[in-house]
Amino acid sequence: MRWTPGGESPDIEDRRGQSGGGFGFGGFGGGPIFGGGLGGRHIGIGGLLLLIVISFIFRHVFGPEPASTGQYASPYGSANRAIEGSNPAEEKEVQFISFVLDDVQRTWDRLLPQTAGVPYRHAKLVLFRDYTTSGCGTAQSATGPFYCPEDEKVYLDLGFFDELANRMGAPGEFGQAYVIAHELGHHVQNLLGIEQKVQRLRRADPSEANPLSVRLELQADCLAGVWAHTTEQRRLIDQADIQSGLDAVAAVGDDRIQKMARGYVSPESFTHGSSAQRSQWFRRGLESGEVNSCNTFQ
């Protein structure tokens, strides 16, 4: 992927120097388109435990959780400051994330008013190590990347990308870019009111909770594809990058994760969609470049 290093995005809230050490499992926390993860640094998760936490990949958060510890109020996020324990490779990765974050949000700055008549409001991306707190409860490495609609922030431990490449067989920068674009797709859904409509439907009919979650996630995949379409037009990516993105999409399909975690697949328990479904909807956005093509609720 062609990108230009340029420091840290003003929309990044960098908490890597403040995240706690250690690890624990406490606190897991109408329009044209009606309408996260294993992560973690290498912190001694055993093989069996690793497969268990894989099942939480790309966890989606529907508002505050019972274990919520409240909003994170400390003013972290000073750009370009030294972070304890960081290294040049990690700082380059932060610059890449910054480039993708800014590019995706500039794209929605233009597209959302054009397609839905809704102004786009920038989300923040919180970088952390091990754990931190969010408006939706405690964020931990083992929960992977997720978007919290309560504070309009994406939460990411950089170690997730190591797991995506090494454990799940999806290396490549554009695969990482897809993860960020997918989570910002949830932010777009939130701004359009889709998130809130899905919550109401889930409360009205709990038996439809999983199918509705799948539709929401597939739509976020499609919206990520819409952004990817713009990068192809601008020649920021080539066919190898597109394949990298599709590999990452397939790697986080429910069927593949369940097969890895427990050796069999239970379609009735899907919350994000199969590898084939996720690839199909990402490709639909990529090929059309149209937000209206992402109506997974039709």
pLDDT tens digits along 67-101:
332 322 222 233 334 455 567 778 888 999 999 99
Task: Report the half-sphere exposure of 242 (CA within 13 A, side-chain side).
Answer: 19
Q: Which two tokens stand for residue 101?
A: 């974050």
For 16-42, how does the pLDDT look when each residue is reduced to its tens digit (9 = 90+)?
887 554 333 232 223 444 443 322 222
Which tokens go with 98? 């910054």
The residue type of 137 is G
Compute the half-sphere exposure of residue 156: CA atoms within 13 Å on the CB side of its CA. Answer: 28
Tokens for 165?
């490449």
Give strand pairing partners of 12: 125
Closest CA to 20 of 51, 45, 41, 4: 41
- For 187, the enclosing helix (H) or strand (E) is helix 173-192
pLDDT band at 298 (very low <50, low <70, confident <90, very high): confident
Residue at 157: amino acid letter: D
Whether residue 139 contacts residue 146, with contact meaning beta carbons closer than 8 Å, is answered with yes
Of 132, 134, 125, residue with least CA distance to 79: 125
Residue 191 has pLDDT above 70, yes or no: yes
User: What are the tens digits of pLDDT across the range 213-270?
Assistant: 999 999 999 999 999 999 999 999 899 888 888 888 898 899 999 998 899 999 999 9
Q: What is the pLDDT of residue 292?
A: 95
pLDDT attached to residue 90:
80
Tell me the per-residue pLDDT of 51-75, one tens digit each, with 9 for 90 and over: 333 334 444 454 444 333 232 222 2
- pLDDT at residue 44 greater than cutoff 60: no
- Look at 16-30, 105-119, 138-152, 252-266 and tell me which has the smallest mean pLDDT: 16-30
pLDDT of residue 125: 97
More confident of the two residues 108 and 53: 108
Higher pLDDT: 45 or 37? It is 37
Distance CA 23, CA 190 (A): 30
Three-class SS state of 248 = helix
Burial class (CB in 10 A: 0-12, 13-18, 19+), 32: middle
Question: What pLDDT was estimated at residue 279?
Answer: 96
